[in-house]
Structure 1
Amino acid sequence: MATEDDTPAWRRFVFGDENLPDPDYPLDHVPGDERKGLVSISAVLLGFVFFAGTLWAGAEVGAAMGFGPMLTAMAVGYAILGVYVATLCGVAAKAGLTTVLLARYSFGRYGAKFADLMLGGTQVGWFGVTIPLVAIPTATFFGLDTPTFTAALILVWGVLHLATAYFGYEGMERLSLVAVPVLVVVGLLSMVIAVGDAGGFGGLFGGGGGGMGFAAAVTIVVGTFISGGTQAPNWARFASSSRVGFWAGLVAFLVGNGFLFLSGAVGGAVYDVTPAGDLYEVLAAQGLAAIGLIALILNIWTTNDNAAYAFGVAGSEAFEFDRKRPFILAGGTIGIVLALVGADSLLIPWLSTLGQYVPPLGGVIIADFLLCWRLRVPKMGDVRFAGVRWTGVIAYAVGAVVAVLTAGQVVPGVAAPQLLPGVAGAALNGLVAAVVVHVAVYYLLESQGVLPGHDVAGDAERL
């Protein structure tokens, strides 16, 4: 085997030191001596959830409902989202596996390839549609918002977003430990100034109302990050225990996401900016444009490097290759090209698509590991995986169909009847349907031998 000294530089860049294992274990359980504590896991997950789209959603709901009712809808929605993601994070910490490796248990060796395509492919798209969200304001700030300069910035920011993901969990952790405190301080500062400009809390609670029902508001709250939350196991698997993983997920997706949503609602209620609630535009209206740009850069960066990491580990599972870097670089290149051709215009329909098709996959994983495996997960080396585990496939298909039918819009731009109306929206409907169907099919068919499952060695070690 070649040593690092005689390995070409390009190969070391793409693959890393091939004499050493990938420090992020993209195809294996994270060993006990590589596990992290609550602060580390929470920081990475908080960096992931601090995304501008959540601010806009908060502004939209606050303006339509009024500030008081919005707080109630926010509490209910983020309780649902927080518990869902925290449960996935607890499962991942127990198994020490990424979302796509958990999917291998739930869908089979070849069935998991669909999860790779779904989770990895959608994150490549996410990477592409979000780079312009920081490149365009940067160009505007410097007064050089020409197509050429904007394209150059898309390239620069795309490379920087890839850089921390390229260095794996450690790179994202270091960025998040800097970015998260800064974003919290800036968000609090902006809210304090906004409350003052509104004339106190009375000004906030006095406007809006009547433009949005409670169920629709909860739908938006849950939908802000339920698809992204399904990817949270990619980082929660490093948690030192299931309890640490669970609480880190809850802190990020209940407290962190709720804080960002509230920031958007406050900014949107006080300032007339487009898009409503945008932290950069709000801070610019407060005379703090430079601080706003820094906050926006950190906001997008800490979300987009997580997206790059997600398609990296999905590629590793898809090709069963124990290095994530080649897939980070390849997926990032595609994402940058998408950004250059104007994919940012597809952000809203992209979020809608993710909200319909990704959560049922998380529902299958939760049902499988909690109610079927009962968290007594055998190591991958002790399992002869079925090619396709039809129990999970059937459950996912039903969940996805339920999500589409309850979305109220099957074809973008074309209204469709809500055939199966749901209380908290398509994402939650699809998730719940997938859980119910998976458990039913498992106990009625798979456990009775009607449908095939995996072969587990009799002396298998349980995690």
Structure 2
Amino acid sequence: MTSQVTPQEQDYPLSPVPMDQRRSIWSMGLVLLGFTFFTATMWAGGSIGVAFDFSTMLLVLAAGNLLLGTYAAILGYIAAKSGLNTALMSRFTFGELGSKLSDFILGFTQIGWYAWGTATMAILLVKLTGLPESWTTPLMVVFGFGFCITAFIGYKGLEMLSRFAVPAMIILVAVSMTIATSDAGGFSGLLAITPSDEMTVAAAITMVFGTFVSGGTQATNWTRFAKSGKTAVIATLLAFFLGNGLMTLIGAFGALVYQQADIVDIMVAQGLATLGILMLFLNLWTTQDNTVYNFAVAGCNMIRTRRRKLVTVGGAAIGTVLAVLGMYEWLIPFLVLLGTFIPPIGGVIMASYFIGYKREYPSLETATLPAFNIPGLAAYAIGSAAAYTSPWIAPIVGVLVAAASYGVVLVVSEAVRDRRAQVLGAV
């Protein structure tokens, strides 16, 4: 049956992005920065801020965000070269039907974030403005569907919002950080603050890497619009190393100075309550529209439909229901889930692209793919199990073990095929 919508109208959910639709590094960087400016990332930074002295904290944040940025940049490079998002790459890695596993995992985690952000906006707005508690649920419904408007429009909608919101948030953050530095007694005062909690360096890096690794895995939804692999790598590093790094730094900074990890609470403590509410709204909206967009792309691949806009609204509805049911209380176990089961997907995709397909996917329309790519699925399972049981940095272990497992299978399989061809040729 012929679809009534064109791929361009729906942002190419089931096909590569053509070169004439690619975007500049400026456009992509703004969208990705808006995505990484996220309240939950600040809270992760806050946990780190009270556990280390200032100089060690900076080293931990730099290491964690550099690892995260590198992981996302490699996937971004593959997306730019192929024009495909993570959901479509998964067909080559896990098979036509096997890719639905990654669609479900990625879609579920993104709609979980959407629910958490929706609930957070409603709950904190009621708290900060003194509105009656009875307003909380209606506000969740309003924000649940309101945040998806720019995602419904598509990449252009995300870009339009980011052009305004990202500079505004940077200015607000700069004002707050300046006041915080003054309140701490300058940099000498910051260096004199002693940690009040304990955390290992490995656990801290895991927290930094794991908090937004699901977003890094699906940043391909925008980097596939890059004009070149170089553009994708630079834009992704800018967003995930600097942007996500700034968010974790703000949380850690606030925890050091005010014993608060969230920028809104910090601004309230600084007497900037109105700016704090504005910051919260922009901070969440620029991430919320990206997460529901991610859900829609994964959902389109799962049910094989180009109607991304319809799936976007459906995702917003599911996220709103989860928000009303109490997603706000599930953040910590949800983060553990993300850090364990998302990164191995990226690891297997990397091995598949660089080793299996020699840096060039065949056409989706003509490629003959199995229903289930058992080696790819097995490598994912091995990587997930390694991450789940690892006492070290779980997300990184998951990526490396999954990539290595699948890489070994691909190299051995190719060697066996070559040897078999030699034997047959000799006969």
Using structure 2 for the length normalisation, give the TM-score. Answer: 0.94
Whether 1:404 and 2:391 are equivalent positions in the alignment is no
Cα distance, 1:447 vs structure 2: 6.1
| 8 A Cα contact 1:90 1:236, kept in partner | yes
Corresponding letter in the other structure for 2:72: V
Q: Which residue of 1 aligns with 2:78?
A: 91
2:118 aligned counterpart, secondary structure: helix
Q: Which residue of 2 aligns with 1:252?
A: 239
Cα distance, 1:344 vs structure 2: 1.0
Q: Which residue of 2 aligns with 1:206?
A: 192
Q: Which residue of 2 aligns with 1:78?
A: 65
1:26 aligned counterpart, secondary structure: coil
Deviates more, 1:88-97 or 1:55-64: 55-64
Cα distance, 1:278 vs structure 2: 0.5
Whether 1:390 and 2:377 are equivalent positions in the alignment is no
1:384 aligned counterpart, secondary structure: coil
Cα distance, 1:145 vs structure 2: 3.8
What is the rounded CA distance, in whole Å, between the counterparts of 2:186 and 2:283 in structure 1? Answer: 27
1:314 aligned counterpart, secondary structure: helix
Whether 1:225 and 2:225 are equivalent positions in the alignment is no
1:353 aligned counterpart, secondary structure: helix
1:366-395 CA-to-partner distances (Å, cap 9, x unmatched) read 111123222122221231111111221111
Q: Which residue of 2 aligns with 1:61?
A: 48
Whether 1:338 and 2:322 are equivalent positions in the alignment is yes
| 8 A Cα contact 1:111 1:387, kept in partner | yes
Q: Which residue of 2 aligns with 1:179?
A: 165
| 8 A Cα contact 1:132 1:154, kept in partner | yes
Q: Which residue of 2 aligns with 1:271?
A: 258
Cα distance, 1:20 vs structure 2: 7.3
| 8 A Cα contact 1:93 1:236, kept in partner | yes
What is the rounded CA distance, in whole Å, between the counterparts of 1:130 and 1:91 in structure 2? Answer: 29
| 1:348–1:33 distance in 2 versus 1, CA, 3 Å | same
Please, which of 352, 355, 367 is the counterpart of residue 368 of structure 1? 352
What is the rounded CA distance, in whole Å, between the counterparts of 1:22 and 1:383 in structure 2? Answer: 25
Cα distance, 1:75 vs structure 2: 1.4
Please, which of 283, 288, 293 is the counterpart of residue 309 of structure 1? 293
| 8 A Cα contact 2:339 2:394, kept in partner | yes
Q: Which residue of 1 aligns with 2:425?
A: none
Bigger relative CO (Cα 8 Å, ≥ 6 apart): 2
What is the rounded CA distance, in whole Å, between the counterparts of 2:39 and 2:46 in structure 1? Answer: 11
Please, which of 142, 153, 157 is the counterpart of residue 156 of structure 1? 142
| 1:114–1:201 distance in 2 versus 1, CA, 3 Å | same
What is the rounded CA distance, in whole Å, between the counterparts of 1:326 and 1:196 in structure 2? Answer: 49
Q: Which residue of 2 aligns with 1:215?
A: 202
Cα distance, 1:219 vs structure 2: 1.6
| 1:170–1:288 distance in 2 versus 1, CA, 3 Å | same
| 8 A Cα contact 2:7 2:306, kept in partner | no
After the TM superposition, which segments of 4 or more aligned residues of structure 1 sit over 4 Å from their partners? Answer: none
| 1:324–1:218 distance in 2 versus 1, CA, 3 Å | same
What is the rounded CA distance, in whole Å, between the counterparts of 1:50 and 1:374 in structure 2? Answer: 35
Please, which of 147, 151, 172 is the counterpart of residue 165 of structure 1? 151
1:223-243 CA-to-partner distances (Å, cap 9, x unmatched) read 221122101101110011111
Cα distance, 1:100 vs structure 2: 0.3
Corresponding letter in the other structure for 2:178: V
Whether 1:444 and 2:412 are equivalent positions in the alignment is yes
Q: Which residue of 1 aligns with 2:424?
A: none
Cα distance, 1:319 vs structure 2: 1.2
What is the rounded CA distance, in whole Å, between the counterparts of 1:253 and 1:238 in structure 2? Answer: 17
| 1:19–1:311 distance in 2 versus 1, CA, 3 Å | closer
1:408-445 CA-to-partner distances (Å, cap 9, x unmatched) read xxxxxxxxxxxxx32xx111111110010010011113
| 8 A Cα contact 2:210 2:338, kept in partner | no
The alignment yields a C-alpha RMSD, in angstroms, of 1.8
Please, which of 164, 169, 178 is the counterpart of residue 192 of structure 1? 178
Cα distance, 1:172 vs structure 2: 0.7
Deviates more, 1:95-104 or 1:116-125: 116-125
Deviates more, 1:311-320 or 1:367-376: 367-376
What is the rounded CA distance, in whole Å, between the counterparts of 1:152 and 1:282 in structure 2? Answer: 27
Corresponding letter in the other structure for 1:373: Y
What is the rounded CA distance, in whole Å, between the counterparts of 2:63 and 2:200 in structure 1? Answer: 14
Whether 1:426 and 2:394 are equivalent positions in the alignment is yes
What is the rounded CA distance, in whole Å, between the counterparts of 1:124 and 1:342 in structure 2? Answer: 14
Q: Which residue of 2 aligns with 1:284?
A: 268
| 1:88–1:317 distance in 2 versus 1, CA, 3 Å | same
Q: Which residue of 1 aligns with 2:304?
A: 320
Please, which of 134, 144, 147 is the counterpart of residue 131 of structure 2? 144
Cα distance, 1:141 vs structure 2: 2.5
Q: Which residue of 1 aligns with 2:421?
A: none
| 8 A Cα contact 1:73 1:214, kept in partner | yes
Flag structure 1 segments of 5+ consecutive residues without an equivalent: 3-14, 407-420, 451-463
Q: Which residue of 1 aligns with 2:19?
A: 32
Bigger helix fraction: 2
User: What is the number of equivalent residue pairs in this alignment?
Assistant: 417
What is the rounded CA distance, in whole Å, between the counterparts of 2:6 and 2:243 in structure 1? Answer: 39
Please, which of 129, 134, 138 is the counterpart of residue 116 of structure 2? 129
What is the rounded CA distance, in whole Å, between the counterparts of 2:284 and 2:331 in structure 1? Answer: 14
What is the rounded CA distance, in whole Å, between the counterparts of 2:275 and 2:415 in structure 1? Answer: 58
Cα distance, 1:303 vs structure 2: 0.9
What is the rounded CA distance, in whole Å, between the counterparts of 1:189 and 1:207 in structure 2? Answer: 22
Cα distance, 1:21 vs structure 2: 4.8
What is the rounded CA distance, in whole Å, between the counterparts of 1:118 and 1:214 in structure 2? Answer: 28
2:11 aligned counterpart, secondary structure: coil
Corresponding letter in the other structure for 2:258: Y
